[in-house]
Amino acid sequence: MSASYALQQLINGISLGMIYGLIAVGYTMVYGIIGMINFAHGDIFMIGAFVSLIALLLLGAGAGLEGPAALLLALPFAMAITALHGWTVERIAYRPLRGSFRLAPLISAIGMSILLQNYVQVSQGARVKPIEPVLAGGIEIARFGEEVVTLSWIRITIVLTTLCALAALTWLVTRTPLGRAMRACEQDLKMAALLGIDTDRTISLTFVIGAALAAVAGAMYLLFYGVIDFFIGFVAGVKAFTAAVLGGIGSLPGAVLGGLLIGLIETAWQAYAPQHLTPYKDVAAFSILALTLIFLPTGLLGRAEVEKV
C-alpha cells in the first residue's frame, strides 16, 4: 500500500465524511430541540438524492444543461422540495404527538421511515438508478514516482458545497433571529414559549433546515457513488446518527467532526481491512455507535445531560 493510495483514500474518506456530517447535522439539530431521534431523516436524505437525480435528468433532457450549471440549478430545487418533505413529515407525524409519551414520536418516525421508503419504491421503482458522472476529470495534486494522485472535480465539489452549506448554517444559527430562537428552544422549550417564541414554527423550521441539508447530502451522495436506490437512507441514516452521537448529540461542530471520523474509518476499513472482512464495514460503524454510547455517552463535543427529579 503506497502513499499515493493512502492519500487517495484520505480524500475519499473526507468527501464521504462530509456527506455523513451533513446528514448528522439534521439529527443533532432535531435531537437538540425536541429530544427525539428523527428516524425518518435518513429517508429524507434518500428523497433528496432522488429529487436531485430527477432534477439533473430534467435539466439534461429539457434544457440541455449539463455539468456544473445543471448542478447549480438542481441543488436549490432539490433542497426546496426535500425541505417541504421534511416540513410535511413533521406536521403530519410528529407535531400531533408533542407532549405524548416518549416512545410515541419515535415509533411514529419509524412508521414514517417505512412509509417514505416504500413510497419511493412504488413511485420510482425498486431498481438501482445509475447516473453518468456529472463532472469529469480532476486536478493532479501529488506525484509519488509513477503514481499520480488526482483530486477529482466531484470530490472538490462535495467538499466545497458541504463547507458552504455548513457556513450558511453556522451563520443562520449564530447571527439570525431564527437561530437565536432555535438556540433558546434547545435550552428550554417551555421557557422559550413563555418568552414569546413561536416554538411550533421554530421546530418546523428546524426540520426544514435539516431536510435542506439532507438534500445537499443526497445530491453529493449521488455525485460520489453515481448510483442510488430507495434503500440508501437506512444505512446512511444509521451511520449519520452514529456520527451525531460520536460528536456529541446536540452539538453542530460535533456532528461534522463525527461525520468526518465515520467517513474516514469506513474508507480506511474498506481500503486496508483484509479481503474477507471488507463486507463488515457497516458492522464497524454500528460497533462504533454502541461503543461510543457505552463508554462516551456525551460524545466528543457534547455536554453531559443531568437528569433532575
Contacts to another protein by CB under 8 A: 36-37, 47, 50-51, 53-55, 57-58, 61, 81, 84-85, 88, 92-93, 96-97, 99-108, 110-127, 129-132, 234, 238, 241-242, 245, 279-280, 282-283, 286-287, 289-290, 293-294, 297, 307, 309
CB of 111 to another protein, least distance (A): 3
Nearer to another protein among residue 169 and residue 223 (C-beta)? 223
Based on CB atoms, which residue is closest to another protein, 25 or 289? Answer: 289
For another protein, give the closer residue by CB, 195 or 296: 296
Question: Smaller CB distance to another protein: residue 184 or 288?
Answer: 288
Q: How far apart are CA 77 and CA 219, in angstroms?
A: 11
Minimal distance in Å, beta carbon 65 to another protein? 14
- Name the grid cell of 235: 444505512
**Cβ proximity to another protein, 196 vs 295, nearer residue:** 295
Minimum distance of another protein from residue 10's CB (angstroms): 26
Tell me the H-state helices in the chain: 3-34, 41-58, 67-89, 103-124, 153-175, 177-187, 189-194, 199-225, 232-247, 252-272, 281-295
Q: Which is nearer to another protein, 73 or 110 (CB)?
A: 110
**Mapping DSSP to helix (H, G, I), strand (E, B) and coil, where does residue 143 land?**
strand
- In the complex, the smallest distance separating the C-beta of residue 160 from another protein, rounded to whole angstroms, is 25
- Closest contact distance (angstroms) between CB of 253 and another protein is 21
Among 149, 160, 165, 155, smallest CA distance to 134 is for 155
Residue 114 CA neighbour count, 13 Å, CB half? 5
Grid cell in block for residue 239: 451511520
CB nearer another protein, residue 57 or residue 173: 57
Question: CB-wise, 65 or 156, nearer to another protein?
Answer: 65
Write down the least CB distance from residue 36 to another protein, Å. Answer: 7
CB of 158 to another protein, least distance (A): 21
- Whichever of 5 and 87 has its CB closer to another protein, that residue is 87
Alpha carbon separation from 80 to 5, 75, 129, 162 (Å, rounded): 38, 9, 22, 17
Residue 59's closest CA among 43, 72, 41, 44?
Answer: 72
Please say whether the beta carbons of 300 and 288 come within 8 A.
no
Which residues are CB-neighbours of 33 under 8 A, at least 6 positions away?
182, 185, 186, 189, 202, 203, 206
- 157 Cβ contact list (under 8 Å, min separation 6): 68, 71, 135, 220, 223
Q: What is the smallest separation between the CB atom of 180 and another protein, expressed in angstroms?
A: 27
Residue in the block written with cell 441514516: 237
**DSSP assigned state of 303:** P
Least separation, in Å, of the C-beta of 68 and another protein? 20
Cβ neighbours of residue 246 closer than 8 Å, sequence gap 6 or more? 254, 257, 258, 261, 262, 288, 289, 292, 299, 300
